[in-house]
């Protein structure tokens, strides 16, 4: 099963329907054992970084997520979920994240244009990843964000998007992955991303 983590700050049902549309069995979960038992875990998120981490702590989910990702088990962060994978964020103060990837989350500078960044932007692939199988260079995905991740190691960046700067659009090491855009809102390309993750988690052919 693909477990979609409910901590009160995610677009859960849209993600669940999108996973089911590409042939995955998806369930919404909110307990640590369910995180540990799932073939794949999706950590969605909409809202503020500090609030999200507080809710994950209150529900006892932080350690389960960290253990899972430290073991390299298939996990996908979406939007805020990607940002939570990093060590800290500067959104409304300084807040510690899950610390899976070294780096921090910072606000998009005003020079980029309108903040938040809302709309369709192109993906520019940086390196090969099973998550990006079948995704064309320059394909469009849908973004909604005011903050972006700055990895300490640029080698974890799988794809970028140009929004006045090269903003990481997808990051990952092995089966631990994150996308800044919303695949569940990105039509055929987004469904292919989710299809690839389901295949990675379940061992199916893509």
- The catalytic position among 95, 117, 145, 182 is 182
In whole angstroms, give the CA distance from residue 157 to residue 29. 28
Contact between 188 and 16 under an 8 Å Cβ cutoff? The reply is no
- Residue range 17-48, pLDDT digits in tens: 999 999 999 999 999 999 999 999 999 988 89
Q: DSSP states of 83-142 as a string?
A: HHTEEEE-TTS-EE---SEEEEEEEPPGGGSSSSEEEEEE-EE-S--GGGTTPPTT-EEE
CATH, residue 85: 3.40.50.880
Helix (H, G, I), strand (E, B) or coil at 155: helix
Give residue 206's pLDDT.
Answer: 54
- The catalytic position among 79, 126, 145, 167 is 79
Residue 112 has pLDDT above 90, yes or no: no
For the question of residue 126 being annotated catalytic, the response is no
Helix (H, G, I), strand (E, B) or coil at 23: coil
The answer to whether the bond into 4 is cis (omega within 30° of 0) is no
- Residue range 162-172, pLDDT digits in tens: 998 999 999 99
Range of the domain at 131: 2-202
- Residue range 126-160, pLDDT digits in tens: 999 999 999 999 999 999 999 999 999 999 999 99
For the question of residue 182 being annotated catalytic, the response is yes
Give residue 170's pLDDT.
Answer: 98
- The catalytic position among 91, 117, 145, 184 is 184
Burial (CB count <10 Å: 0-12, 13-18, 19+), residue 145: buried
Cα separation values, 50 from 3, 46, 83, 130, 170, Å: 23, 12, 11, 31, 22
pTM: 0.96
- Residue range 45-103, pLDDT digits in tens: 888 999 999 999 999 999 999 999 999 999 999 999 999 999 999 999 999 999 999 99
Structure tokens at 195: 């299809």
Domain count across the chain: 1
For the question of residue 184 being annotated catalytic, the response is yes
């Amino acid at each position: 099963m693909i477990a979609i983590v409910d901590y009160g700050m995610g677009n859960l049902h849209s993600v669940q329907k999108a996973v089911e549309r590409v042939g995955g069995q998806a369930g919404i979960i909110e307990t640590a054992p369910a995180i540990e038992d799932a073939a794949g875990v999706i950590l969605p998120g909409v809202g503020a970084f500090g609030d999200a981490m507080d809710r994950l702590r209150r529900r006892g989910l932080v350690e389960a997520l960290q253990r899972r990702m430290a073991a390299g088990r298939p996990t996908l962060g979406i939007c805020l979920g990607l940002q939570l994978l990093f060590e800290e964020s500067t959104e409304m103060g300084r807040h510690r994240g899950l610390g899976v990837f070294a780096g921090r989350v910072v606000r998009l500078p005003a020079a980029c244009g309108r903040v938040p960044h809302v709309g369709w932007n192109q993906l520019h692939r940086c390196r090969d990843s099973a998550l990006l199988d079948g995704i064309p260079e320059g394909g469009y995905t849908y973004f909604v964000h005011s903050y972006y991740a700055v990895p300490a190691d640029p080698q974890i960046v799988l794809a970028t998007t140009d929004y006045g700067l090269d903003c990481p659009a997808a990051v990952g090491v092995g089966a631990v992955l994150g996308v800044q855009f919303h695949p569940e809102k990105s039509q055929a390309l987004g469904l292919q991303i989710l299809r690839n993750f389901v295949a990675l988690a379940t061992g199916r052919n893509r």
